Amino acid sequence: MSTAITGIREARKDIDPEDYRVGRTLAALMFRTEQSPEGYLVRRPITQTELAKGAMVSQGLIGQICTGRKHLSNQVLYRIASYLQIDPIVIKRPDPEIQQQGLPFAA
């Protein structure tokens, strides 16, 4: 087996389960509810590029955060939360269902 493939597989083992969970939470929050011209509420996904521009960070960083490969710093957290118009704790807090079940966090 080549070292390039081995290196990729080893890198995936290094993903922190908490960073992965935060990334999945952010990806789930990347939907915006808007009112259509007809007056209906419509859920529209926000692209990584749109979020990156709104939060003034690179699109690559958003992609890495959503996949759990990069830790979400507080500075970026506040920029993203401000753009999404949500409380920053919504992105960082643990999932309540997992806490209620008493299960460990799974990646």
Q: Is residue 2 part of a domain?
A: no
Provide the pLDDT for residue 100: 43
Q: How many domains does the chain have?
A: 1
Residue 4 lies in a domain: no
Residues in the chain with pLDDT < 70?
1-13, 94-107
Residues 6 or more apart from 46 whose CB is under 8 A from it? 30, 31, 32, 84
Cα dihedral: 54, 59, 65, 70 (round 10): -120
| Alpha-carbon dihedral angle through residues 81, 76, 95, 45, given to the nearest 10 degrees | 60
What per-residue confidence (pLDDT) applies to 12?
56
User: Looking at the domain assignment, is residue 10 inside a domain?
Assistant: no
pLDDT at 60: 95
Note the helical H segments in 14-68.
17-29, 48-55, 59-66
Q: How far apart are CA 14 and CA 62, in angstroms?
A: 18
Instruction: Tell me how long the chain is.
Output: 107
What CATH number does the domain containing 41 carry?
1.10.260.40
* Residue-range definition of the domain harbouring residue 35: 16-95
Residue 37 has a pLDDT of 86
Name the helix (H) or strand (E) containing 4. Answer: helix 3-13
Is this prediction's pTM over 0.85?
no
